[in-house]
Chain A
Amino acid sequence: MICSLCGYEYDETNMACHAACPMSNGCAILCCPNCGYQVVDESKSGLAKLLRRLWKIEPTKPQKPAEENTQ
């Protein structure tokens, strides 16, 4: 998984934040370990799976970042 905000590549099956979160049971949020940006885990969404099957959309990875910005 590549974070849409900071571009960090991480393993979505190992969410360290879940261990510390009081609401982690069944949590469908993936949280970038680098910047904290959250996205909904599409693999846990029945609606997303249904749409994939209906339209035969393959999961695609976002492009890796290639530039940096330091403010």
Chain B
Amino acid sequence: MTARFRDLLAAEWIKLWSLRSTYGSMALIAVSAVLFSVRAALADHHNWPGYSAERRAAFDPIHDAFPEEGWLFVMLAAGTVGALMIAGEYASGQIRTTLVAVPDRRAVAAAKVVVLAAVMLVVGAVAAVASFGVSQAILADRGAGASIGDPDALRAVVASALLLPMCALIGFGVGALVRHTAPAIVVTTTLLLLAPLAFDITNKWTASVHNALPVPAWERLVGNPYVLPNLHVATVPGSWAVFVVWPVVAALLAAVVVHRREP
């Protein structure tokens, strides 16, 4: 990495952390990730004495670490940070000031992508590890907690950590295409949270489209029991591929449109 590119990374770092919306989104991520997993774990902890032997045998403690109702907020916040990072520049006109300072547009886009992905990966790792650790500590009191060495536990933690940079980069790609803040957030939210509902998972073909969407891939990798009734369940390698293809395509798309379109 050249010293000059490091300067661009530092500039994007300053820009990211000088906006209130970034702190709001980070707070939303921290609160929703940890509180919802604590709530899920406490509920099972409370109800545990009443569970039958079969129910205890089938109990999936990892699901309490990553309950979908809480992580939907995490995805929303991560996608929003990504969308705002670029759409906020176009919508305000800041992009013209940025590009007069740095005419190399691909370098501007690349610096934003690197800073966004790195920050979101760190935040995602902290959120995933904290959610897993706290929820399993609560369940351990009933002898029902998983350890990170258990089958699928590490996979769920890693997938959840990577979920944030993936959602953020998808938001970034949408933001670069749409260039207005509110529509960018709406489109990102639709793509991440609503699109999976549009596909019938009992049909082989629509199920395969569903499985190729980012959030269903995450659900598959964390072993969310709600996705198990899916007859056409995705493969684990296929779901990891979704985690690679979506953010890479989104970042490349963003670099192309930032380079080509007039600000």
| Chain B binds chain A | no
B residues with a Cβ closer than 8 A to A are none
